Amino acid sequence: MANNKRSGCDPVSIRLEAEDFRLWYTKFRDVISDLSLVRRVSSIVYNLLNQGCSEEEVVKAVEDILRNLNVDPLMIKRGEFQGLRGDVVDVLKIIFPNAVQETKPPFFISEEDKRRSQQPTVNRQIKKAVKRTLRIRGTEAFSWIMLGVSSILTVVSLVINNRLMLGVSSSLALIFLIVALMAHIRMI
């Protein structure tokens, strides 16, 4: 009886972890990235190792959980291993052999070096966002102006009783209204 003390993984713990992971995965399947999947699995690995499971038992249990949900661990290309316990990282690297470290530079790089290395990227991202916003705002402004012009032409065509001009101007007004609204809600 004394030999049976914590000699392996508790099947109930594995079932609980599997069910919890299954619920999480089915709920967020469409938005889960490699990083979030590896992070979630690292939590399971950590818990099972703390409960006395061997690394081999944890690898088998997690692989079974992933297989039951049709998750191919070989397809996972990115993971965040920094800051995790060594044994957890070892197990994760066995489960996800193709995953590479995906984080910001290590904490020991000086703040000045971080700023220098990130500045061009940040500047490019800001310039891109500004260009996109200006393009959208320009399209929206142009569409509202053209809507006004088309509306004026519609009124003029009603006054002079020109059906062709009325049809063209009202069609253009509708088109520019749709484009302006789409630009306003950033659909284009």
What does the angle CA 76 – CA 79 – CA 81 come to, to the nearest 5 degrees? 145
For residue 5, the model assigns a pLDDT of 41
What pLDDT score was predicted for residue 104? Answer: 54
Q: Hey, what are 28's tokens?
A: 């967020």
Please give the C-alpha separations between residue 15 and each of 7, 21, 148, 152, 174, in angstroms, as whole numbers. 18, 10, 65, 70, 59
Which CA distances in Å does 187 have to 108, 133, 146, 178, 181? 42, 12, 19, 11, 9
User: What are phi and psi for residue 102, nearest 5 degrees?
Assistant: -135, 85
Over 90: is that where the pLDDT of 131 sits? no
At 107 the pLDDT is 52
Average of per-residue pLDDT across 23-38: 88
Please give the pLDDT value at position 128: 75
Model pLDDT for residues 10-20, shown as the tens digit of each residue? 888 888 988 99
Q: Is the dihedral of CA 125, 126, 132, 135 positive or negative?
A: negative
Whole-number Cα distances in Å, 90 to 10, 46, 81: 21, 11, 10
The residue-averaged pLDDT of 7-28 equals: 86
Helical packing angle, 34-50 and 86-95, nearest 10°? 120
Whole-model pTM above 0.85? no
